[in-house]
Structure 1
Amino acid sequence: MIKKFSTLIAIAILCLSTTACGNGGTVNSEAALASGTKNIANPAENIFSSGQPSRDEFAALAELGVKHIVNLRPQPEQDWDEAAYVSSLGMQYHSIPVADAGDITPANAQKLKQTLQSIGADPALVHCASGNRVGALIALQHGLESGNVDAAIAEGKRWGLTRLEPVVRDALTK
């Protein structure tokens, strides 16, 4: 309870000290990064990647102006109805189930790319349990487009890639 309260106070202070807190499509990155969300990063303008947010963290992100949630966790990993909760906060929910390394595929990387393109400039959060699958799909897509494996891995790491790096490298060097 104290952590939740202190996180919300920190976000409120950051919002009051800037003009970009949930105002028409721009999210205060400092406030979002202070939300307490596991492994949160801001790898692209108005796009955040993270591990699984709590209900309180989703609420804080909605207050900051995040409009879209892209969840890469499959339903069996969830023990609550994230889609309904996110929708109740006024955010749009998108699901691309990525269960394990076998789902780090060009098709899923393309689905994530298309989802982010459809969201456009609206603020969004892409998450899985830790951020690793987010980074893996981003790295795979980047590598498929650029042909540069090392640059793809570096980009994936900005988005949360960790232990799935060998899977991405393997997929890009076949």
Structure 2
Amino acid sequence: MSETTPDLSAESAAVTLDEAPTQEQITAVLNEYFDTLFHPDENTIVCGALDETKIAALAAAGVQHIINLQPDEELAFDEAEAASRHGMTYSQLPISGAADLKQVNLLAFDRLLREHHGKKIAMHCQTGNRVGAAMALRAGWLRGRKMETALERGRAHGLTTLEQEVHNRLLVPR
């Protein structure tokens, strides 16, 4: 496996040639590249900040679209260009922290997810926490899920330190 082109072939995933790698096998290989990684369903990967090697690993894992919740000032390189070079599409919706967890941004986030429904996507921020917060608020505000269900959805997508803020926001009906 080279440093910039991770090998997620059937051989490296220890499966027969006529089988595609399973979600568990893909996650195991991606764990080599990411400190923070959530795989809440077969079409969704949530991770922390990206670099060139991590973008290559996502492409090798079959990711078709990247959703970045980091603002420009947190980025170390041109992610959009790297994603394009690896055959993926890319969207950026800057969410700097709790102040940006407002309904207008959640509507934009929901629109991105609906536009790419059925595709394998990777969502990221610095640690996955903002992605988890956005998923929880989407579940509660836009999908009408109960508080605990929305928070569980957020945790499955990386929600950690923003959990109390998300809880407080979910108490206010939208």
The alignment's TM-score, normalised by the length of structure 1, stands at: 0.85
Does residue 29 of the first structure (1) align with residue 27 of the second (2)? no
Q: Deviations over 1:151-172 (max 9, x none)?
A: 1111100000000001111111
Instruction: Write the distance in 2 (CA, Å) between the matches of 1:56 and 1:156.
Output: 27
Q: In the alignment, what sits opposite 1:44?
A: 41
Q: 2:40 aligns to what SS in structure 1? A: strand
Aligned mate of 1:150, from 123, 148, 151: 148
Amino acid corresponding to residue 172 of structure 1 in structure 2: L
Unaligned runs of at least 5 residues, structure 2: none
- Work out whether residues 38 and 53 of structure 1, in 8 Å CA contact, stay in contact via their aligned partners in 2: no
The alpha-carbon distance between structure 1 residues 3 and 102, as it changes in their structure 2 partners (threshold 3 A), is farther
Number of aligned residue pairs: 165
Instruction: Write the distance in 2 (CA, Å) between the matches of 1:30 and 1:17.
Output: 15
The alignment's TM-score, normalised by the length of structure 2, stands at: 0.85
Q: 1:14 aligns to what SS in structure 2? A: coil
Instruction: Write the distance in 1 (CA, Å) between the matches of 2:16 and 2:88.
Output: 25
Q: 2:83 aligns to what SS in structure 1? A: helix
Instruction: Write the distance in 1 (CA, Å) between the matches of 2:48 and 2:131.
Output: 9
Q: Percent identity?
A: 31
Q: Deviations over 1:110-136 (max 9, x none)?
A: 222211110121111010010000000
**Off by >3 Å, runs of 4+ in structure 1:** 2-5, 15-18
Higher share of residues assigned helix: 1
User: How far off is 1:64 after superposition?
Assistant: 2.2
Instruction: Write the distance in 1 (CA, Å) between the matches of 2:120 and 2:97.
Output: 27
Unaligned runs of at least 5 residues, structure 1: 22-27
Please give the root-mean-square deviation of Cα atoms over the aligned residues, in Å.
Answer: 2.3
Q: In the alignment, what sits opposite 1:14?
A: 13
